[in-house]
Amino acid sequence: MSQPGPNAPIQIPDAGRRIACPERAIRAELDRILHSPAFSGSRRSQHFLQYVVEKTLESQMTALKERNLAIDLFGRPPSANLSEDTIVRVSAREVRRRLQQFYASAEGARAQVQIRLPAGTYVPEFLPPETPQGHRHRPDACSTGLAAASAQGSRLPACGVWAAVFLAIAGALALASRLTPDGGTEAALAEWFWQPLLSPHSKVLIGLPHPIVYQPSARALRESARRQPPQEIPLQRPLALRPEELSGADFFPVDDQYAVLGDLFAVSHLHAMLSLRNRAVRMRVSSRMEPGDLKESPSIQIGAYSNPWTLELGRTLRFRFGYMPDGRPCIADSSKPGRHWALPMLSRHMPADQDYILVSRLLSSPWGQPAVLVAGLDQFGTGAGGQLLSDPRRLGVVLHSIGTADWRRANLQMVLQIRVVGSTASAPQLVAWHVW
């Protein structure tokens, strides 16, 4: 069987939908992208995009699975634990970001074909470019051919990609479902959220929480060790003493030496997100930060009750952290007395099955620089909040649900709720917001 020439369309059925586009146009666009400023600085992103495009053009879309990519592109063994090794997912997010950067440039605006990598899949799309109003055009270069196919059947020249995120009955509608009312994508909404902090001329300051941890005294440790069997490896163990055998003198506070897991998750996600954007990051323990630090750099403050700067920057805002009369931490609505979000009253042996997150984006803090504040009432909320803000797709979904574009050039607060099962948090759900 003869091989098709470079101008011949590729025909890949997609549940009745086919995308018309010459292979030569796709390869030419790929070459332009790989040599563009958006990709020239990252060999990993170049190799990733070239690999998935070539596999698709060879009709090997079924090979584009996370494990196959981990083995073929990054040399991981077949037994690699991909729930911990996230290099494929991180690389895909970076490619999506660089593609968005490319098509936002003057060079990308001249594209005859657009190569996209939808969230949730490693199979690329080949699409016609968009006009400034967000409509696809230039059907001679690449068109979906849905209407023509219904009229002409298989006579329509077809090439394409198995677009898993598109519904067969409405490719255009599926694309529209990924657009906001004014034509922006979910990732673009996330870009709007972060834009005030991402000045290329300044580092982003991350304020780290500093929980106070109480350690047992030497007396308590000696007495506990005396009552327990000896151990070959000196691992830490719970105190083997009854509460009535301990007094206040048996514990002393330790500042700035420990971290909470949820805070660490938030820091790691946000630091990774900024690194992928090639933004310099400076980290300081919040208790050691001075007003001069906030004058010098835009900042992200993580945690609430263990970060004085989160509370200071947010003390005059509508949604604020506080305490209920019974001592439970809460997020209070200062404009509506009695409206609040708090953890349920549970015993110390039963962790809450939900948490609330407060995210505040300030275009200008009292010290002049923009700031983002993110914290939960408990550690699960803080960790989930950091993960949300570092994921453009999920953040875009939340921002889209606000239903107005006014927040883009304004201050914004969001109250979100998560469910907690064991030690796993659900995706945050928006329950209240304020724009001013």
Q: What is the pLDDT of residues 317-376, one digit of tens each?
A: 999 999 999 889 999 999 999 999 998 875 554 567 899 999 999 998 888 899 999 999
Q: Which uninterrupted H or E stretch holds 375?
A: strand 371-376
Check residue 344 and give its pLDDT: 82
Specify if 350 maps to a domain: yes
- Looking at the fold, whether 113 and 149 belong to one and the same domain comes out as yes
**Res. 216: pLDDT tops 50:** yes
- Looking at the fold, whether 283 and 410 belong to one and the same domain comes out as yes
**Res. 300: pLDDT tops 90:** yes
Contacts of 286 (CB under 8 A, 6+ apart): 207, 208, 209, 210, 301, 303, 306, 307, 308, 309, 310
- CA R_g for the chain: 26
Give 3's DSSP letter: P
pLDDT grade for 174, boundaries at 50, 70 and 90: very low
**Res. 206: pLDDT tops 80:** yes
For residues 168 and 115, the model is more confident at 115
- Looking at the fold, whether 137 and 235 belong to one and the same domain comes out as no
Specify if 141 maps to a domain: yes
- Looking at the fold, whether 85 and 224 belong to one and the same domain comes out as no
- Looking at the fold, whether 324 and 382 belong to one and the same domain comes out as yes
Q: Which uninterrupted H or E stretch holds 355?
A: strand 354-362
* Choice among 3-17, 94-108, 254-268 with the minimum mean pLDDT: 3-17
Mean pLDDT, to the nearest integer, of 157-169? 31
**Res. 166: pLDDT tops 70:** no
Maximum mean pLDDT: which of 9-13, 76-80, 412-416, 425-429: 412-416
- Looking at the fold, whether 233 and 333 belong to one and the same domain comes out as no
Mean pLDDT, to the nearest integer, of 164-186? 40
pLDDT grade for 281, boundaries at 50, 70 and 90: very high
Check residue 48 and give its pLDDT: 94
**Res. 60: pLDDT tops 70:** yes
- Looking at the fold, whether 268 and 408 belong to one and the same domain comes out as yes
For residues 304 and 132, the model is more confident at 304
Check residue 79 and give its pLDDT: 87
Residue showing tokens 């927040």: 407
Specify if 13 maps to a domain: no
Specify if 183 maps to a domain: no
Check residue 198 and give its pLDDT: 87
Specify if 132 maps to a domain: yes
Check residue 153 and give its pLDDT: 32
- Looking at the fold, whether 60 and 110 belong to one and the same domain comes out as yes
Q: Answer whether 417's CB lies under 8 Å from 376's CB.
A: no
pLDDT grade for 299, boundaries at 50, 70 and 90: very high
- Looking at the fold, whether 116 and 246 belong to one and the same domain comes out as no
Q: For residue 314, give the CATH number of its domain.
A: 3.30.379.10
Specify if 236 maps to a domain: yes
Check residue 110 and give its pLDDT: 85
Of 316, 307, 289, 275, residue with least CA distance to 375 = 307
Q: In 150-250, at which residue ranges do the beta strands (DSSP E only) sit?
A: 204-208, 213-216
Domain count, the chain: 3
Which residue segment(s) compose the domain that 339 sits in?
196-210+258-435
Specify if 243 maps to a domain: yes
Output the average pLDDT for the chain: 81
Mean pLDDT, to the nearest integer, of 44-70? 90
Check residue 434 and give its pLDDT: 96
pLDDT grade for 62, boundaries at 50, 70 and 90: confident
- Looking at the fold, whether 397 and 299 belong to one and the same domain comes out as yes
pLDDT grade for 155, boundaries at 50, 70 and 90: very low
Check residue 360 and give its pLDDT: 98
Mean pLDDT, to the nearest integer, of 132-147? 40
pTM for the model: 0.58
Check residue 183 and give its pLDDT: 39
Of 252, 230, 227, 254, residue with least CA distance to 239 = 227
Percent of the chain with pLDDT over 90: 46
Specify if 374 maps to a domain: yes
Interior/surface letters 44-69, b for 16+ CB within 10 angstroms, e for the rest: ebbbbbbbbbebbbeeebebbebebb
**Res. 267: pLDDT tops 90:** yes
- Looking at the fold, whether 39 and 116 belong to one and the same domain comes out as yes
- Looking at the fold, whether 249 and 266 belong to one and the same domain comes out as no
Indicate the angle between helix axes 186-194 and 392-400, nearest 10 degrees. 90
Check residue 278 and give its pLDDT: 86
pLDDT grade for 130, boundaries at 50, 70 and 90: low
**Res. 156: pLDDT tops 50:** no
Check residue 346 and give its pLDDT: 58
Check residue 373 and give its pLDDT: 98
